[in-house]
Amino acid sequence: MPHPPRTILDTIGNTPLLALRHIAPASGARVLLKIESANPTGSMKDRMALAMIEAAEADGRLRRGGPVVEYTGGSTGVSLALVCAVKGHPLHIVTSDAFAREKLDHMRILGARLEVIASEAGRMTEKLTRDMIAAAGVIAGRTGAFWTDQMRNTDQLAAYRGMAAEIDAQAEGPVAAFVQAVGTAASLRGVGEALRASQPGMRIVAVEPAESAVLSGGPTGAHRIDGIGAGYVVPLWQPEIADAIETVPTAEAVAMALRLAREEGLFAGTSTGANVVAALRVAARLGPDARVVTVMCDTGMKYLGTLGPAAAAQA
């Protein structure tokens, strides 16, 4: 009989994998969605936050009760706030008004101290990303806090390899493609590399905002898809990992997030909307027996302030 969890951190992972029933390509290929909203903060980032903190604790970079600092669009910050609250680490977060207010409030409720940097009309840009990183570096230097530095931290890859093992066990057959949006690129790499090792013929498809398609060789730009599209080629990105890159406009990502809620009962954010748009494109090119796996990155409860008005506009 399994032991009950000792803390909320023991409930991270082992999330469901569900097939979309109504939103499907004409070819009949199945799109399977990893329901990461089932994690404690409603986000896949719970996995990586726990992995980064525990790795630093284990090798001495983070002492008992030591402070932590990070820059984040929100989900990583909320996940770090949860982990740090349970483990007793003070947390200083650098974020921006470009991101969902619900995420910022959630971080504060969990005890994080926030420095909020102003954006350009509420949009994600390369300059904003770099300004946030610079501010986190200053705080780390001034306070001596452990800087998780998610754009460069490879400790998180282990967490996503664990997610791949779950997908392998849950998919009930071979996976033809794995589709995932790129923020730090850690989830694409960790899950994709592990799935490819067990299923050598599988395709890995990266997703990025059409308005800032830098991985595809386009110019940097501004978009409103939280958590992805930093506006430059991020350090953990490896071009050889992706067999293809799909670009998705913000408007399509928002529309798909609303469709998922209304047609599947799955309330997710805009990065999930982008994932599903891209996964449907990939599935349409495959046969009816194929399985395409993508990720429900987080819960739509983090985006009520943005998805609510979008839904009202469609009413």
pLDDT in tens, 110-121: 999 999 999 988
Boundary (domain end) residue, out of 116, 147, 178? 147
Residue with tokens 């506006």: 231
Q: Which long-range contacts (CB under 8 A, 24 or more apart) does 140-147 make?
A: 140/69, 143/67, 143/69, 143/92, 144/67, 145/66, 145/67, 145/68, 145/69, 145/90, 145/92, 146/56, 146/61, 146/62, 146/66, 146/67, 146/68, 146/69, 147/68, 147/69, 147/70
- Residue 74 belongs to what domain range? 45-147
What is the tens place of the pLDDT at every residue in 47-57?
Answer: 999 999 999 99
- Whether residue 120 lies inside any domain: the answer is yes
CATH of the domain at 281: 3.40.50.1100
For residue 99, is pLDDT > 90? no
Looking at the fold, whether 180 and 293 belong to one and the same domain comes out as yes
For residue 154, is pLDDT > 70? yes
What is the pLDDT at residue 4?
75
Looking at the fold, whether 142 and 266 belong to one and the same domain comes out as no
295-315 mean pLDDT: 89
- Helix and strand numbers (H, E) in the chain are 9, 10
Spatial contact of 29 and 59, defined as CB atoms under 8 Å apart: no
Looking at the fold, whether 12 and 89 belong to one and the same domain comes out as no
- Whether residue 105 lies inside any domain: the answer is yes
Looking at the fold, whether 140 and 215 belong to one and the same domain comes out as no
How far is Cα 298 from Cα 42, in angstroms, rounded to an integer? 5
Looking at the fold, whether 221 and 306 belong to one and the same domain comes out as yes
- The CA angle 8-68-116, to the nearest 5 degrees, is 100
What is the tens place of the pLDDT at every residue in 246-282?
Answer: 999 999 999 999 999 999 999 999 999 999 999 999 9
Spatial contact of 285 and 163, defined as CB atoms under 8 Å apart: no
What is the pLDDT at residue 248?
98
- The CA angle 148-54-171, to the nearest 5 degrees, is 100
> Looking at the whole model, is its pTM more than 0.85?
yes
Boundary (domain end) residue, out of 147, 169, 185? 147
61-80 mean pLDDT: 94
Q: What single-letter DSSP state applies at residue 3?
A: P
For residue 100, is pLDDT > 60? yes
- Structural element, H or E, at residue 78: helix 75-87
For residue 2, is pLDDT > 70? no
Per-residue pLDDT band at 311 (split at 50, 70, 90): confident
How far is Cα 221 from Cα 165, in angstroms, rounded to an integer? 35
Looking at the fold, whether 141 and 164 belong to one and the same domain comes out as no
What is the tens place of the pLDDT at every residue in 125-149?
Answer: 899 989 999 999 999 999 999 999 9
Per-residue pLDDT band at 1 (split at 50, 70, 90): low
Looking at the fold, whether 164 and 281 belong to one and the same domain comes out as yes
How far is Cα 190 from Cα 186, in angstroms, rounded to an integer? 6
Looking at the fold, whether 16 and 61 belong to one and the same domain comes out as no
